[in-house]
Chains A and B, each alone.
Chain A
């Protein structure tokens, strides 16, 4: 049985490659073979591969290849540009009219209409479908009926704020003013879905069908997905290669070894252990570019020790006791950059990133750190424990380094210790149950490149990722005001004012901005990572 599927797959793949190479070759002009297929490392997606159910990079990689939404974030600048949207109009930042471009279809031939979007969004929001990203639709009117927060019975299957008004037009009514809403629509959760998704869900999951530059050729769950160029793709960002084979690796070290042996073309997560060799091994075939990820230390504001007058001085003192330069240099080999604000450089100055906003509070100043902590009443209990999960990433290394740095600065080798938690789920549980007694690891990967996304989910009262339960009326008011602002420039200015409130309170200690890293074989050219640290597959050329 397995032998048979194997042979069938191989034959199928070979046929596709042959067919593709036959008609490829010229045309492109870049010297690449437009028919050649590249292989790339992958991880098994954690959740079923539905757009509104995928919240991690591995599943996101596939969605980015097989779906195109109303907007798309420019792989270079991160700017939200119209993709399927002909226009999105509003006069009050609350009611939007969306017109979908003509001529788009799914790879099974079905037309992409206004209904494809509305059905998909309704599906994503409806509680009974268990979509992990349902909260993305929480700005749309009627969300509380389709997705009651208390987990009670839902009284509606669809969002009352969505109305199809024509074959290519629909209206969106939000439950609050949200000026930058159109710019969030590049997130994969907002992708359109074909009828096949609803009518034959089981088979769709086995072989997803979308409207992006690639189509899924075969999918062996847990081991490999073969994506091939969709020749009839109507968009301008057509694939410049014949396809991509995503191979699941349990260990990124093995993927790296495979790259070295010429068995794999692209590794988009260079293992920490190899960072010191990577320049020698790959030379300029190693890329290391900023991604929309910031690592911070959050504090438990439900704990009285961290929420009394003076504790902002202690937090600031701790921040100044961390030698970010040295840690990013020695441990991360420059794949992290010391943070100087609470957003990310990928936003750009125009998008709200402010280099140096944190000021001297993010610089290593041991003497002042000592003084500030003393002024603030000392460390609660005489010691801080930094809690982190030890199963993924190389969190142990940097937490130990941060503690070392704090201990050195304060001249007390018991001032800071790491507190590892075995699994990520347990770590999340302890956070949700408010069991943290000191600072803990908080990482944020942006959903969309907007300053709003770096502030509201993390620091707004009771927001979904406000793990420390920080609450400050002044901040909330400014966020509300910024969201209601119709002018983007003014909105960003107001968000920046809100960020200053975060700074003045040192609500969380910014540590560093994370880069995306990738290495590739000499067959490839034009490899780059987008601001979400996902390779821009459609632009890769294979020789």
Chain B
């Protein structure tokens, strides 16, 4: 187990380097960001040159990358064009997005798995059909439509919530945005759980458990669900990273100043330091989440062992 974890951690290094390099190059391809800093006029050449020097943009790309990586290992993610250190931006943005992601993941787990179990156990019944149709609707409607619609209905028409999240983004204001963010994944989790449960319900070990006379509740939670959760856990695990990075749309609609907002701003202003810094952290989150998922397999299914 320990050796497995170490091996996996070592594997992250090339993935990490490759990913950062790719992003670095991609942002660089967009061209010289300094030109966009002076509004609808040419930056005066001396100031532009000075800015380029300051942000290291006058160096060849490979050297920029090496300097950048060197700094990252000392914890310095560079400075955004507005003079704020990127670590400071991360310090304000990540807690917000983490809260949003937690709301989304909890919703996925609680609502998604519950619905999945219910429908899986009652295949073909009206409940099952209703939930299936519902999930189909959720999957086919784009997130921004759901978001804007809920914002308009709940925020403006019925005034149940504030249409935008205040700048400190407390948990209770994030519930609706979190649900919107989770909606599509939630539908997938429901469907995955349902299929998995329906399949395993006819498995031998379930029949054995029932034959032993175990209470139905125990059969479902301990035996059936535990085995059926493997694909679901994989999905949710990879979704953590996707939700954090993919919150751009939701964050924009509800004016949440999280990672998506910083990334959007960074891309618009072609701010290499911000974009690469944030994406690097997202890559790390993704890798760690994947590792945790793999370790969870062993917990869920005793047959899986890591040497």
Which A residues contact B (CB, under 8 angstroms)? Answer: 2, 6, 9, 44-48, 55-56, 127-128, 130-132, 134-135, 147-151, 205, 220-224, 247-251, 254-255, 257-258, 260-261, 263-264, 391-392, 422-429, 431-432, 442-445, 457, 464-465, 467
| Chain A: minimal CB distance from B53 (Å) | 9
Contacts of A428 in B (CB 8 A): 35-36, 38, 42
Contacts of A128 in B (CB 8 A): 50
- Nearest-CB residue, chain B, relative to A260: B156
Tell me how many residues of B have a C-beta within 8 Å of chain A. 55
Contact of B82 among A46, A257, A264 (CB under 8 A): A46
14 other A-B residue contacts (CB within 8 Å) besides A9-B168, A150-B45, A425-B37: A6-B168, A47-B37, A147-B44, A148-B46, A149-B46, A151-B50, A220-B167, A222-B262, A260-B156, A263-B164, A423-B268, A425-B30, A425-B269, A431-B42
User: Can you offer 21 A-B residue contacts whose CB atoms are under 8 A?
Assistant: A2-B95, A2-B168, A46-B82, A48-B82, A130-B50, A134-B44, A135-B44, A149-B46, A151-B49, A151-B50, A222-B89, A250-B257, A250-B265, A425-B269, A426-B35, A432-B35, A442-B40, A443-B40, A445-B39, A464-B41, A467-B41
Cα(A2)–Cα(B33), bound, Å: 32
Cα(A421)–Cα(B270), bound, Å: 14
Contacts of A432 in B (CB 8 A): 35, 42
| Chain B: minimal CB distance from A412 (Å) | 31
Contact of B167 among A55, A248, A425 (CB under 8 A): A248
Cα(A131)–Cα(B51), bound, Å: 9
Cα(A9)–Cα(B42), bound, Å: 40
CB of A150 within 8 A of CB of B46, answer yes
Contacts of B267 in A (CB 8 A): 423
Contact of A55 among B39, B155, B269 (CB under 8 A): B39
| Chain A: minimal CB distance from B160 (Å) | 11
| Chain B: minimal CB distance from A448 (Å) | 15
CB of B252 within 8 A of CB of A47, answer no
Contacts of B252 in A (CB 8 A): 250-251, 254
Q: Is B264 in contact with chain A by the CB < 8 A criterion?
A: yes
Q: Once A and B bind, how many residue pairs between them come within 8 Å at the CB atom? A: 167
Given A47-B37, A457-B41, A464-B42, the answer on whether A222 and B257 have CB atoms closer than 8 Å is yes
Contacts of B47 in A (CB 8 A): 127, 130-132, 134, 147
Cα(A423)–Cα(B29), bound, Å: 12
Given A224-B167, A426-B31, A457-B41, the answer on whether A130 and B51 have CB atoms closer than 8 Å is yes
Contacts of B269 in A (CB 8 A): 46, 425
Q: Is B293 in contact with chain A by the CB < 8 A criterion?
A: no
CB of B42 within 8 A of CB of A465, answer yes
Q: Is B152 in contact with chain A by the CB < 8 A criterion?
A: yes
Given A148-B46, A247-B167, the answer on whether A46 and B162 have CB atoms closer than 8 Å is no
